[in-house]
Amino acid sequence: MSKVKKRVLVIVVAILVIGLAIGTKYLVDVEAYKSQVAALQIEDFNLAEVPDGTYTGAYDARFIKVKVQVDVKDHRISHIALIQHENGKGSPAEAIIPKVIEAQSLEVDTISGATNSSRVILKSIEIALSKTS
């Protein structure tokens, strides 16, 4: 076998090994992300205990990162701004924000096809409102 063929073979093997390592890490990260989102406990809140103000909450679930700003006036959620939503294909989940405002609760249905992003948005809102005490 010539030196050129050996070098090409070494390069191909190196690329395959690197690709396998990257693929394995990605699969491990995906499983960890799925477990993290599945384990999310979203607790509702008592708006009567939430003073007027603007509250920020964030949650990072590896592949989905959300940061919200929640405005409360007269013990009601008056506005929720989505400051950050890194989501892959989960942008339809942003439709959950008007549902939360209308219901004045986190006990709303998630958006079909964007369940994980919906859950991370809800968790971010919960975190924001839990900073009120």
Amino acid identity at 125? I
Q: Does residue 102 register a pLDDT over 80? A: yes
pLDDT value of residue 132: 65
Mean pLDDT of the chain: 91
pLDDT value of residue 3: 86
Q: Does residue 133 register a pLDDT over 70? A: no
Task: Report d(CA 122, CA 41) in Å as an integer.
Answer: 10
**Is the pTM here over 0.85, yes or no?**
no
pLDDT value of residue 89: 75
Length of the chain: 133
Provide the H-helix boundaries in 39-108: 96-103
Q: Does residue 29 register a pLDDT over 70? A: yes
Assign domain 47-130 to its CATH architecture. Alpha-Beta Complex (3.90)
In the structure, what pLDDT confidence band is assigned to residue 13 with cuts at 50, 70 and 90? very high
**Among residues of the chain, what percentage have pLDDT more than 70?**
98
Mean pLDDT of 63-88: 94
In the structure, what pLDDT confidence band is assigned to residue 131 with cuts at 50, 70 and 90? confident
